[in-house]
Amino acid sequence: IVNGIEADLYNPQTDALLDYHFNQEDLSGKAKNKAKLQERVGLPVRADVPLVGIVSRLTRQKGFDVVVESLHHILQEDVQIVLLGTGDPAFEGAFSWFAQIYPDKLSANITFDVKLAQEI
């Protein structure tokens, strides 16, 4: 698998970049990480809302043309999105604009940050 996940590196039980560890028997660390991430990126801390995480190059090849076209509709739902990435300036601008319009629903981080990527 070309873009497969490295299970040892991205293990939530041992990941050094996560503040709280968790596993399938004890998910309490997952909820704590979610709340900390929401706070870090400026989203309201809400346990009851799905938080969608995107870490990617912002390119047409990755499907961001479709995402941007659908984003207004998606953000009408009770959902939060945290995005981390750089790429096509048009997509960077679109996500930044939507984040200004929907500050409680979308955090657009047009940069790259290893710790934030891991937290997402």
77-104 per-residue burial string, b: 16 or more CB within 10 A, e: under 16: eeebbbbbbebbeebbebbeebbeebee
Indicate the number of domains in the chain.
1
What distance in Å separates the CA atoms of residue 71 and residue 37, rounded to the nearest whole number? 21
Domain that includes residue 81, residue range:
28-119
pLDDT digits (tens, 9 = 90+) for 47-88: 999 999 999 999 999 999 999 999 999 999 999 999 999 999
pLDDT digits (tens, 9 = 90+) for 5-26: 788 888 999 999 999 999 999 9
Q: Give domain status of residue 6, yes or no.
A: no
**Would you state the structure tokens that stand for residue 95, as one six-digit string?**
């996500």
pTM of the model: 0.91
**Which domain CATH number covers 35?**
3.40.50.2000
